[in-house]
């Protein structure tokens, strides 16, 4: 049986999808490199460049440093964001975030109190003593985190 791409075809050998969703790949391209051309990269970088249109010198907070979050960080670096704060419960994500361009890391379990005022204080720089991020990206899908990102 052949399922459409939104109907449990994720782990099948073949799937049906619209032509617009197909990317032609050179057969000689190394699979261990091109396999990363997936939705994590395009979703993360696309959210920064195409949707948010982040400008150079911006301050941004990325909640969740999985595949999409890391690529949001990469997009922020490409856009020229000045301060890129990664937020994750897993300290192992810090090194990965730094490889992608993150400038600061916060583990909410390791701070006292609410993370929102903590992040606002972190972003107070120079003449900006109000603080706060120009852009926030929730890459967790957690509604509590979404509210905090606002």
Q: What is the pLDDT of residues 7-66, one digit of tens each?
A: 555 556 666 777 877 778 888 988 877 766 667 888 899 999 999 999 999 999 999 999
92 in any annotated domain: yes
111 in any annotated domain: yes
110 in any annotated domain: yes
- 21 compared with 80, residue with greater pLDDT: 80
Helices 93-100 and 67-79 cross at an angle (nearest 10°) of 30
- What per-residue confidence (pLDDT) applies to 36? 62
98 in any annotated domain: yes
CATH number at residue 73: 3.40.50.720
50 in any annotated domain: yes
Strand-pairing partners, residue 136, are 61
pTM of the model: 0.78
Average pLDDT, the chain: 88
77 in any annotated domain: yes
Which residues, in sequence order, are CB contacts of 132 under 8 Å at separation 6+? 59, 119, 120, 123
Name the residue range of residue 103's domain.
39-149
Structurally, how many domains does the chain consist of? 1
> Taking residues 130-137, what's their average pLDDT?
95
69 in any annotated domain: yes
21 in any annotated domain: no
């Amino acid at each position: 049986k052949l399922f459409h791409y939104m109907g449990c075809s994720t782990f099948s050998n073949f799937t049906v999808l619209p032509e617009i969703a197909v990317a032609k790949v050179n057969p000689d391209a190394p699979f261990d490199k091109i396999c990363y051309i997936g939705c994590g990269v395009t979703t993360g970088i696309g959210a920064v460049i195409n949707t948010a249109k982040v400008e150079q010198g911006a301050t941004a907070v990325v909640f969740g440093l999985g595949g999409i979050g890391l690529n949001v960080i990469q997009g922020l670096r490409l856009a020229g964001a000045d301060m890129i704060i990664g937020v994750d419960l897993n300290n192992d994500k810090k090194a990965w975030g730094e490889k992608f361009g993150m400038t600061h890391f916060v583990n909410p379990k390791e701070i006292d109190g609410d993370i929102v005022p903590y992040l606002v204080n972190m972003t107070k720089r120079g003449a900006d003593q109000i603080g706060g991020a120009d852009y926030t990206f929730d890459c967790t899908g957690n509604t509590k985190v979404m509210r905090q990102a606002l």
